[in-house]
Amino acid sequence: MARTFVIGDIHGALKGLQQVIGRVRPKKDDRLIFLGDYVDGWSQSRQVIDYLMQLDQQYSCIFIKGNHDAWCEEWMRGDSPNPDWLLHGGLASMQSYTGISAADMRTHLAFYDRMLPYYEEGKRLFVHAGFTHMRGPAREYSQMNFYWDRTLWEMALVVDKHIPKESLVYPKRLLLYDEIFIGHTPTTNYDVEVPMNKCNVWNVDTGAAFMGRISAMDIDTKSFWQSDVVQLLYPGERGRNRPV
């Protein structure tokens, strides 16, 4: 029986990604759904994308686009670097892309272009950050919300176990799917080092950009595998942790 694994934020940590894939040991028929934020933070953003393209040859893969991937792509397409991007790990991505050939650049851009804003399958949704429309992602006002929204998760955090599903005030957004898988908001913000489940939302961003790990979770059994603390794999680097 083929399995599906969902993988949270990576942020340039090739070593962490290879570690977690090595621990999952996917079989040929298994499927990998990546929730975005492949770049920005640790020093191997470009190499993460190369490795994802390689995994794509070996397995059935789905790649969702994160806010950091969107920023990086804008710059790669010729825009001047967004100042916010530079403050949030963009510099490391720019450095990793230094000296890339025109042919490799085209290959990478084609890969960014293929990343999905969200992916829906039956009663499951996979999206980097969230969505806001009560009738679902297809009705969303701005694609930016798929990359940036934090209200879905913050809502799930407060509603969980406090408001019954039958209540008139239960958020309509949370009734659209059986399960919603997201990244974007590190669980380490809440002092949690493993994937978090609130209402029907599963947050698989376990803070790889900061002091946390990369996580992969089986979407059916909810078993999960993690890299080591990414910072330990990149001694001397700061990732997206603030300078002291």
Chain residues in the site for Mn ion (CB under 5 A): 9, 37
Residue 157: Cβ-neighbour burial (10 angstroms; 0-12, 13-18, 19+): middle
Name residues whose C-beta falls within 8 Å of residue 202's C-beta, 6 or more positions apart in sequence: 6, 179, 180, 181, 182, 195, 196, 217, 222
- In angstroms, give the least distance from the CB of 162 to Mn ion: 27
Measured from the CB atom, is 26 or 41 closer to Mn ion?
41
CA dihedral 150, 89, 63, 25 (to 10 degrees): -110
Measured from the CB atom, is 126 or 159 closer to Mn ion?
126
Measured from the CB atom, is 37 or 73 closer to Mn ion?
37
- In angstroms, give the least distance from the CB of 128 to Mn ion: 8
Contact 59, 28 (CB under 8 A): yes
- In angstroms, give the least distance from the CB of 14 to Mn ion: 16
Position of minimal CB gap to Mn ion: 37
Measured from the CB atom, is 19 or 185 closer to Mn ion?
185
- In angstroms, give the least distance from the CB of 66 to Mn ion: 6
